[in-house]
């Protein structure tokens, strides 16, 4: 019972709200026309670049970004920060299981969006879709879009595709961040399929056009290299673990052990074996708690249930899609962007090793 003689604990001072430092710079002219042609949802709303990298979103997204910038961060929270299609979902499952001491039953009782707060989903979704969800009857989509992070039990698991400079400024000094990247050629192919899967791309958007948009950063949540290189520069921060998709492909068990060490966990050999089995593509793609199948039944998606979010899970699939000209453009872009950074990518792994 509380001791009436004792003074009650003072409430912590509310932290000062930080202004989000960047205003939208509307996309105009040819850049807007190219993007609006490819992504019909944004035709009416327009598009804008935010911040030093020109992160592409809707012009009215600033209040949302300010909210995300002020997200409370506590020691013990874990953020999975990635660009789309780099292995986000794979990493989320890996991190969640390790942090929850290999609670495989728990992982099969909650969908991924109930285990992780998807930080910016509301602010980067076209207004028309957002309003449909707000006014609709689908509780899962409403939960994902509108439940505040504060309604979740701590510690918080957060997923975000925002670049680090748009995350709360004290993130890295407070919580743990797991960042995963994948070679941009495979990301480009995977993203192209993803945007068609959820009808975000115009049906007639060709891969040829998409490659140019991808390189020029004219796809929502891009540009690619500023996002990756900002995280790469932080790779030695004690709270940052920088992973490569291709390393997980080549040595999943070894990389699970790396993540465990980073999280301060000591799984047994048997648990490591079980994790590697559980996280293998052949199993994860059929795991309904992780594989995004639920979205086909949600108000969020107009996705085709016959197309799969967990598509191929390969390294080097780009070779099945790129023409020599597309490959030339991609290679030249990568060389220019990577020069002097110390970062390089594995572009292919022999079939028998993946
Ligand atoms: P593909 O479209 O190339 O198949 P994200 O979660 O960041 O959106 O990334 C999705 C990509 O990661 C998809 O790539 C998906 O198949 C792949 N992926 C997910 N789980 C995987 C696993 N266990 N092994 C290999 N690839 C996986």
Return averaged pLDDT per consecutive 10 residues of the chain, 354 residues in all.
51 78 94 92 87 93 96 97 98 98 96 96 88 88 93 96 98 98 98 88 95 96 97 98 98 98 98 98 94 76 72 96 98 98 97 87
- Residue 352's pLDDT is what? 87
**Quick check: CB of 81 below 6 Å from ligand 1?**
no
Going from the Cα of 108 to the center of ligand 1, the distance in angstroms, rounded, reads 19
Nearest alpha carbon, ligand 1 atom 20: 90
- Residue 286's pLDDT is what? 94
Which residues make Cβ contacts (< 8 Å) with residue 53, sequence separation at least 6? 163, 165, 217, 223, 226, 227, 230
- Residue 300's pLDDT is what? 66
- Residue 292's pLDDT is what? 85
Per-residue pLDDT tens digits for 207-241: 999 999 999 999 989 999 999 999 999 999 999 99
Going from the Cα of 66 to the center of ligand 1, the distance in angstroms, rounded, reads 30
**Quick check: CB of 310 below 6 Å from ligand 1?**
yes
- Residue 126's pLDDT is what? 83
**Quick check: CB of 115 below 6 Å from ligand 1?**
no
Going from the Cα of 94 to the center of ligand 1, the distance in angstroms, rounded, reads 13
Going from the Cα of 26 to the center of ligand 1, the distance in angstroms, rounded, reads 32
Per-residue pLDDT tens digits for 97-121: 999 999 999 999 999 999 999 999 9
**Quick check: CB of 88 below 6 Å from ligand 1?**
yes
**Quick check: CB of 92 below 6 Å from ligand 1?**
no
Per-residue H/E/C for the chain: CCCCCCCCCCCCCCCCCCCCCCCCEECCHHHHHHHHHHCHHHCCCCCEEECCCCEEECHHHHHHHHHHHCCCCCCCCEEEEECCCCCHHHHHHHHHHHHCCCCHHHHCCCCHHHHCEECCHHHHCCHHHHHHHHHCCCHHHHHHHHCCHHHCCCCCEEEECCCHHHCCCCHHHHCEEEEEECCHHHHHHHHHHHHHHCCCCCCCCCHHHHHHHHHCCCCCCCCHHHHHHHHHHCCCCCCEEEEEHHHHHHCHHHHHHHHHHHHCCCCCHHHHHHHHHHHCHHHHCCCCCCCCHHHHHCCCCCCCCCCCCCCCCCCCHHHHCCCHHHHHHHHHHHHHHHCCCCCCCCCCCCHHHC
**Quick check: CB of 122 below 6 Å from ligand 1?**
no
Q: Which of 84, 87, 287 to mutate to test the pocket of ligand 1 (most atoms within 8 A of CB)?
A: 87
What whole-number distance in Å separates Cα of residue 5 and Cα of residue 125?
Answer: 52
Going from the Cα of 87 to the center of ligand 1, the distance in angstroms, rounded, reads 5
């Amino acid at each position: 019972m509380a001791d009436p003689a004792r003074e009650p604990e003072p409430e912590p001072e509310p932290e000062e709200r930080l202004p989000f430092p960047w205003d939208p710079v509307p996309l105009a002219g040819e850049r807007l026309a190219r993007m609006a042609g490819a992504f019909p949802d944004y035709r009416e709303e327009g598009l804008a670049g935010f911040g030093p990298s020109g992160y592409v979103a809707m012009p009215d997204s600033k209040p949302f970004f300010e909210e995300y910038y002020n997200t409370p961060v506590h020691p013990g929270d874990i953020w999975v920060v990635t660009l789309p299609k780099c292995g986000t979902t794979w990493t989320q499952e890996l991190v969640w299981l390790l942090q929850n001491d290999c609670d495989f039953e728990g992982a099969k009782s909650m969908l991924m969006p109930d285990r992780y707060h998807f930080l910016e989903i509301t602010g980067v979704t076209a207004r028309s879709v957002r309003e449909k969800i707000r006014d609709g009857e689908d509780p899962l989509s409403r939960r994902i879009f509108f439940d505040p992070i504060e309604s979740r039990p701590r510690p918080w698991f957060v997923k975000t595709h925002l670049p680090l400079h748009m995350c709360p400024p004290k993130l890295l000094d407070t919580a743990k961040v797991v960042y995963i990247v994948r070679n941009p050629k495979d990301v480009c192919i995977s993203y192209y399929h993803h945007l068609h899967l959820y009808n975000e791309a115009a049906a007639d958007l060709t891969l040829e056009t998409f490659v140019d948009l991808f390189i020029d950063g004219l796809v929502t949540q891009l540009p690619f290299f500023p996002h990756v290189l900002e995280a790469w520069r932080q790779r030695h921060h004690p709270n940052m673990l920088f992973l490569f998709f291709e390393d997980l492909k080549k040595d999943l068990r070894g990389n699970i052990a790396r993540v465990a060490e980073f999280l301060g966990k000591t799984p047994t050999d048997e648990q490591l074996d079980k994790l590697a089995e559980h996280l293998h593509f052949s199993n994860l793609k059929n795991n309904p708690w992780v594989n995004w199948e639920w979205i086909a039944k949600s108000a969020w998606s107009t996705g085709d249930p016959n197309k799969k979010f967990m598509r191929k899970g390969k390294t080097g699939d780009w070779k099945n899609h790129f023409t020599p000209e597309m490959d030339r453009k991609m290679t030249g872009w990568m060389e220019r962007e990577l020069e002097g950074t110390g970062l390089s990518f594995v572009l292919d792994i022999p079939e028998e090793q993946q």
